[in-house]
Amino acid sequence: MLKITPYLGILVLIVSIGGLWFPALGYFLLLVFAALFLISPFRGRWFCGNLCPRGSLADFWIVKISKKNKIPKAFRSFWLRVPVFILLMGFMTYRIISVIGSLNIFDKIGMILVTMCIVTTAIAILLGSYFSPRAWCTFCPMGTAQRLLGGKRYALKIEKEKCITCKKCDKICPMQLEVHKGAPLPDCIKCGRCIEACPKDALHF
């Protein structure tokens, strides 16, 4: 995690609330999309664990109201992730196409992006408070896209001979991954928490 990571969550609130008056703030989402698409072919879901404002909101704000239950397995399934990706991206594209040629197109597209930010943030807060702070991140379309683009990159490795199976890594993982098993973790968000928690220094990127 970077030093600025804990403070990025405020950007979600600025775009979601401020965007209602200043739709241009919605274009911040394009910056987010560009960053994650540029980073993921080299570092997988690193953006999710280090630079995503909503990820930061989950880890440092939603966590305060979360019941911290187990994230349902179905959330991780591609049977859910692919339809959610197609639905959200398709709906956003449809809405943008439908305002092309109208007056104030800049503001209208900005408002579509703001609305998308509000809706997905509301879902993230609801799921995060009932299940676990990062529940939304298990099937967020942008997380799925990063996994598909670079799920094998910058992989977490475990030195099995050092591991004492204490499972401290599993307990601290915000994505609730089974880190101790040493299997590939394409949904690892490279936050590094498990590395810090491991008493045997058995985990490395």
Q: Which residues bind ligand SF4 (CB under 6 A)?
A: 48-49, 52, 54-55, 136-137, 140, 142-143, 156, 158, 163-169, 172-173, 175, 177, 179-180, 185, 188-194, 197-198, 200, 202-203
152 in Cβ contact with 186 (< 8 Å): yes
Q: Which residues contact 18 (CB under 8 A, 6 or more apart)?
A: 25
Q: Which is nearer to ligand SF4, 61 or 136 (CB)?
A: 136
Tokens at residue 104, please? 């104030």
- For residue 89, how far is the Cα from the chain centroid? 16
Q: Which is nearer to ligand SF4, 22 or 154 (CB)?
A: 154
Among 152, 156, 150, residue whose Cα is nearest residue 205: 156
Q: Which is nearer to ligand SF4, 43 or 190 (CB)?
A: 190
- For residue 141, how far is the Cα from the chain centroid? 9
Taking the complex as a whole, the smallest distance from the CB of residue 26 to ligand SF4 amounts, in Å, to 16
Taking the complex as a whole, the smallest distance from the CB of residue 102 to ligand SF4 amounts, in Å, to 30
Taking the complex as a whole, the smallest distance from the CB of residue 105 to ligand SF4 amounts, in Å, to 26
